Amino acid sequence: MLALATDFHERCLAHPTLSHPFAHGVDPAHVPHLAAYWGEVFGGPPDYSRSHGGHGAMIRVHANQCDEDPFSAAFVECFDAAVAAVLPGDTELRAVLGDYIRAATAEVVAYMPLSAAGPGDPPMPRWTWAGRQGLDGSVSTGDAVTRTP
Ligand code: HEM
């Protein structure tokens, strides 16, 4: 997760669209925070929830920033490229990570408008080989349910 977050963040800083939100200067702990967040989403220890306020805090970092979304496509593009550069060339892994980042980006962007209501205290999303895991343990993301857990 640290390797993925490091590669991904370098791509964001180098991207003509994504460099702007980071131009004010970035917390040096951003990459480890991102790695901890993704680690928790993919079944690792709940470090981000314990130490950084959980999913709601992550959403709030991005909330009420702007009414337009110039970022989603670039964010997904950088993530897909980082996955290809850092993780094994496994088709199923790439597919489920691709599903994940598109869903996660859509959620973050939904809170970006200046007038958007806050997220409250949502649970950390959990993703497995079978896609997003529901609070009741069910899974749901289109064809992802056919994958071997
Ligand atoms: C949609 C485009 C997005 C943009 C432009 C964006 C930009 C940013 C920026 C500027 C920061 C603050 C960095 C700092 O100063 O420390 C940040 C923090 C963060 N972002 Fe994003 N982000 C986006 C989407 C996402 C998504 C989809 C996720 C999760 C999948 C995410 C996870 C995080 C996390 C975990 C942090 C660190 C928060 C902390 O320090 O606790 N971001 N993001």
| pTM confidence score | 0.91
Q: Which pLDDT score is estimated for 134?
A: 81
Angle 93-15-111 from CA coordinates, rounded to 5°? 70
Look up residue 113 and give its DSSP letter.
S
- Ligand 1 contact via 41 beta carbon (within 6 Å): no
Q: Which pLDDT score is estimated for 141?
A: 53
Per-residue pLDDT 10s for the chain (149 aa) are 999 999 999 999 999 999 999 988 889 999 999 999 999 999 999 999 999 999 999 999 999 999 999 999 999 999 999 999 999 999 999 999 999 999 999 999 999 999 999 999 999 999 999 999 986 666 655 444 434 44
Fold of 2-146: Globin-like (1.10.490)
- Ligand 1 contact via 33 beta carbon (within 6 Å): yes
Q: Which pLDDT score is estimated for 144?
A: 43
User: Taking Cα atoms as reference points, which of 13, 18, 42 lies closest to residue 100?
Assistant: 42
Does 9 belong to an annotated binding site?
no
What is the ipTM, given to two decimal places? 0.94
Domain range summary for the chain, segments of one domain joined by +: 2-146
Name the 3-class secondary structure at 26.
coil
Residue 109 has a CB neighbour count (10 Å cut-off) of 17
- Ligand 1 contact via 1 beta carbon (within 6 Å): no
